[in-house]
Amino acid sequence: RGKRPFKFAFSFSGIYLEQCQRWCPQLLSLYKDLYETGCLELVSQTYFHSLSSIFYGDMGEFKEQARQHVALIKDLVGAEPRVFENTELIFNNLIARAAFELGFTGIITEGSSKILAGRSPHQVYHSKVAPDSRFCSGITRCRTTSGSGFRRNGGSIILLLPTNTPPG
């Protein structure tokens, strides 16, 4: 408390939060206390950490799980997530549009050389899903360690930020 030396973000599946609620409610209290310091950003995702976004015919299940996740976080922590991350950081314009339509101000996704196509990860990009610039991207390069089970070979993380959030 006080100086707020740094900020960080957590993203928990709905199933994890249910388990905390049942088996370790004091952990939820700790998360709520951390959130109230202003140092913690709670990031939303699909409730079941599912692959519902890859079924492109209908984004209904994906949107419903995102809504359920937001409702659970509001109920347990009293916070409404503004930023979304999809399972395994899967990203495309359909997913971005769905997140935008759900009211999220940003989305986190992995930056790869294929996605960046030679462009710098150190500038702001506007999303095609919101031409009026309400949903834009700021890219942060983030090297990961070889011991990481999530990303073994390093890379970038792209954070799509609202226009009123300064990068960095």
Residues with a known catalytic role: 88
Per the CB < 8 A criterion, the answer to whether 45 and 91 are in contact is no
Per the CB < 8 A criterion, the answer to whether 45 and 66 are in contact is yes
In sequence order, what are the residues at sequence separation of 6 or more whose Cβ sits closer than 8 angstroms to the Cβ of residue 102? 63, 66, 67, 70, 84
DSSP state of 158: E
| Residue at 46: amino acid letter | T
Q: Distance between CA atoms of 11 and 9, rounded to whole angstroms?
A: 7
Q: Distance between CA atoms of 24 and 61, rounded to whole angstroms?
A: 29
Residue 69, both tokens: 């996740």
CA–centroid distance for 69 within its chain: 12
| Residue at 19: amino acid letter | Q
